[in-house]
Chain A
Amino acid sequence: MAYSFPEEVLEHVFSFLSSDKDRNSVSLVCKSWYEIERWCRRRIFVGNCYAVSPGIVIRRFPEVRAVEMKGKPHFADFNLVPEGWGGYVYPWIAAMSAAYPLLEEIKLKRMVVTDECLELISKSFKNFKVLVLSSCEGFTTDGLASIAANCRHLRELDLRESEVEDLSGHWLSHFPDNCTSLVSLNMSCLGSEVSFSALERLVARSPNLRTLRLNRAVPLEKLANLIRRAPQLVELGTGAYSAEIRSDILLNLTEAFSACKQLKGLSGFWDVVPAYLPAMYSVCSGITSLNLSYATIQSFDLVKLVTQCRNLQRLWVLDYIEDSGLEALASSCKDLQELRVFPSDPFGAEPNVSLTEQGLVSVSKGCPKLQSVLYFCRQMSNAALISIAKNRPKMVRFRLCIIEPRAPDYLTLEPLDAGFGAIVENCKELRRLSLSGLLTDRVFKYIGTHAKKLEMLSIAFAGDSDLGLHHVLSGCESLRKLEIRDCPFGDKALLANAAKLETMRSLWMSSCSVSYGACKLLGQKMPRLNVEVIDERGPPDSRPDSCPVERLYVYRTVAGRRIDMPGFVWTMDDEDSGLRFS
């Protein structure tokens, strides 16, 4: 190509492309662009760690600096994936330690990370800067000690919601005295107390610290000391927010907060004593993100705090806020974009708080920017859903959990098909949807017809027949992740839409009616899919082909079958499995 730019120029142009989609498009233009692009790609995102192998990634992208990866399916969060299923990151770390000595960032979600992994990371990557472990498990505080001790340029250590075996709080003291690079520290999921003086010194010598999320064990009386050393904080997660009522503690805390002029996010708030909430009032006007989802305080106290945060964009809260509190929220917080209301007593037989569909309707009416909702409640009506849909056509994420499975419209006793139908019909930008309540195949017809931008759909205890699943698989053009539990969906829809599954990241079906025979057939016909049957009753071969499988996980892959499957996972191979390359 006589007119082509020199490589360096193309590389420079490509460096402005950050989205994977754009980079992938660029790679398809011609061979030389493919080559140039692959040498300069610095960030990769692997949505399913089994969709590709470390070897393939390293071969194609030799100069990666940041890796983001996800392991277990989403329903693992709710104990639907048995222990030992997989998602081990070790093979990746081992391969990358040799291939990517300049690696700086590792972000993992729902993966099994061991202390060996952490030690390997800390020793292999001299420039390591960012470690984010979201909902991960398998490591102990000893692994954290390796990271603290050896990563000289560590900027971020974020353990959000991971399950860490907490041997002691001593790990924090392993940060060397000359480590001053910390920008973000999130240890909120840890149980043990760390040495407070070590923590204080660490905060004091980290002038770039922007995010500090403490764990419950850090007492309120000492919080002021920490905050005072970091008035530049943008995000703060408190420890337990309770102490004996003493005016000196309150004064100290109030003073410390008032010095934090940049504070935008607050979280933590375990064991809240309402008398101490006023200490934060001076920063409320700047707060855009507030996580009160562990604060077991009454509506009145919640409202007092929340209504002062006029610039609030994100609120996570318990259902103690009640309908009245949500109404107050709707009048005060006009910038609200995301609301999550969690259940305080999810297993109680009777409602313990006065939170109904009305709260959500109020917020949908009063908050013009509302686009992301997660709402647990005990009753819902089609009228309410229709109202919400009409109020907020720009909704992007809508997850509703009516606590009782198959609960109908409490006013009319009809299914909630019309309500959710209105949601998908009005909210044309909807990307994520979780359904609940009494639903027939009709709702899936609406979804297939209207939800053209839908990427992730979660279904539980819904539908009448295979037609429901067929509507979704044949209609939802943008669907990437589909997770289903306890629905009467079976073989027909699955097999009729087999090709669709190659356009998606994954499909999860548990406690449905998919037979072993259909799984085998799917595995045989679709070599580029891994069709995995998870069944704790023993080999599916020992039962008739017509017997439904417990759980089915189907995902597209270029890596072939997994080699790390536990005894209760079986892959349905294609006919030429013997000739597979990995």
Chain B
Amino acid sequence: MVECEKLGFEATELRLGLPGGGEKSNANYGKRGYAETVDLKLNLSTKEICLDQSDLDEKNLNKEKNLMPNCATDSVKPPAKAQVVGWPPVRSFRKNVMAIQKKSDSEDAEKGTGAGAAFVKVSMDGAPYLRKVDLKMYKTYQELSDALGKMFSSFTIGKCDSQGMMDFMNESKLMDLLNGSDYVPTYEDKDGDWMLVGDVPWEMFVESCKRLRIMKGTEAKGLG
């Protein structure tokens, strides 16, 4: 019974934080606020807790905590509040299905194949160092191509302009280079094979691309 009341009290404390600032709302409805507090306490301690203890006891609170996504990888989220039976009104059928999916989502995230960012290394032949891009930032091949162009433009300034002057058309020149036959964008897929960029639908490419390599046309034999 003591544990029962303790749980109820804790739950009440959590629930005093009404959205928009609990303090304020208590001020506006001084009496109401107090009455609410009392109501909450009474409701929980005489009805929900004692009758539906199985829903509110430690075991189930922990179970609910496990439903939190990515609990192993992310920073600690605030624990689930002590629950009122049947609220919010989500059918158990739906709750169960979501629980199973959340678990597998968080497992996926740990394995690194989840819905988060998709950073891959990008190398360009002749460039002194590699870059990294998050493929999830783009929605089409064109967007990726534009971004890569911007990224690698600095490497081509020196090469393109023999007079050493800044060429303001560099970006488009690079685009021509990238789109033309001089440079060929390729990627390594999940099976370790090097593939030509652009063959498969964008979403499929994002899922299977492990790294990108912008090859000099002369080296890109057998991929065209």
Residues of A with Cβ closer than 8 Å to B?
Answer: 75, 77-80, 161, 163, 189, 245, 247, 250, 270-271, 273-275, 277-278, 293-294, 296-298, 300-301, 342-350, 352, 376, 378-379, 401, 403-408, 410-411, 413-414, 460, 485-486, 488, 511, 536-537, 550
Chain B residues positioned under 8 Å from A271 (CB to CB): 101, 104
List the A side residues contacting B95 at CB < 8 Å: 346
- CB of B92 within 8 A of CB of A79, answer yes
Q: Say whether A348 contacts B77, CB under 8 Å.
A: yes
Task: Determine if B69 and A161 form an interchain contact, defined as CB atoms under 8 angstroms apart.
Answer: no
Comparing B18-26, B159-167, B172-180, the segment that makes contact with chain A is: B18-26
B156 at the interface (CB under 8 A from A): no
Stretch at the interface among B1-9, B119-127, B197-205, B211-219: B197-205
Residues of A within 8 A of B19 (CB): 378-379, 404, 407-408, 410
Besides A404-B19, A511-B48, A550-B47, 7 new A-B residue pairs in contact (Cβ under 8 A), listed by A number = A274-B207, A275-B206, A294-B98, A344-B98, A405-B87, A413-B24, A485-B86
Q: Contact: B67 with A347, CB < 8 Å?
A: yes
Instruction: List which B24-71 residues lie within 8 A (CB) of chain A.
Output: 24-25, 28, 36, 39, 43, 47-48, 51, 55, 64, 67-69
Q: A347 and B80 in contact (CB under 8 A), knowing A273-B207, A342-B94, A405-B87? A: yes
Instruction: Check if A275 sits within 8 Å of B201, measured CB to CB.
Output: yes
Provide the residues of chain A in CB contact with B86, threshold 8 Å.
Answer: 75, 78-80, 485
B51 close to A278 (CB less than 8 A)? no
Q: For the complex formed, measure the closest distance between the CB of B144 and the CB atoms of chain A, giving whole angstroms.
A: 15
Give the chain B neighbours of A75 by CB distance below 8 A: 86
Q: With a CB–CB cut-off of 8 A, which chain B residues contact A344?
A: 98
Judged by DSSP, the binding face of A is loop
Measured CA separation A537–B50 after assembly (Å): 9
Smallest CB separation, B21 vs chain A (Å): 8
* Chain B residues with CB under 8 A of A486: 43, 84
Contacts A278-B203, A486-B43; A296 near B88 (Cβ below 8 A): no
A342, A347, A413: which has the most chain B beta carbons within 10 Å?
A347
Query: Is the Cβ of B77 less than 8 Å from the Cβ of A250?
Result: no
Contact B89 A349 (CB under 8 A): no
Q: A349-B77, A410-B20 are in contact. Are A405 and B84 (CB under 8 A)?
A: yes
13 examples of A-B residue contacts, CB within 8 angstroms: A274-B207, A275-B203, A275-B206, A294-B97, A294-B101, A296-B101, A300-B139, A347-B83, A349-B79, A350-B77, A405-B87, A407-B19, A488-B39
B115 adjacent to A298 (CB under 8 Å): yes
A405 and B24 alpha carbons, distance in the complex (Å) = 17
Determine if B78 is an interface residue (Cβ-Cβ < 8 Å): yes
**Contact, CB under 8 Å: B36 / A406:** yes
A345 touches B93 (CB 8 A): no
The answer to whether A550 and B51 touch (CB under 8 A), given A161-B91, A347-B80, A485-B86, is yes
Instruction: With CB as the reference atom, state the residue of chain B lying closest to A297.
Output: B115
Which residues of chain A have C-beta atoms less than 8 A from B77's C-beta? 348-350
Contact B101 A408 (CB under 8 A): no
Please name all residues of chain B whose beta carbon is closer than 8 Å to the beta carbon of A273 when the two chains form the complex. Answer: 207
Which residue, of A275, A300, A343, has the highest number of chain B Cβ atoms within 10 A? A275
Alpha-carbon distance A293/B94, docked complex (angstroms): 9
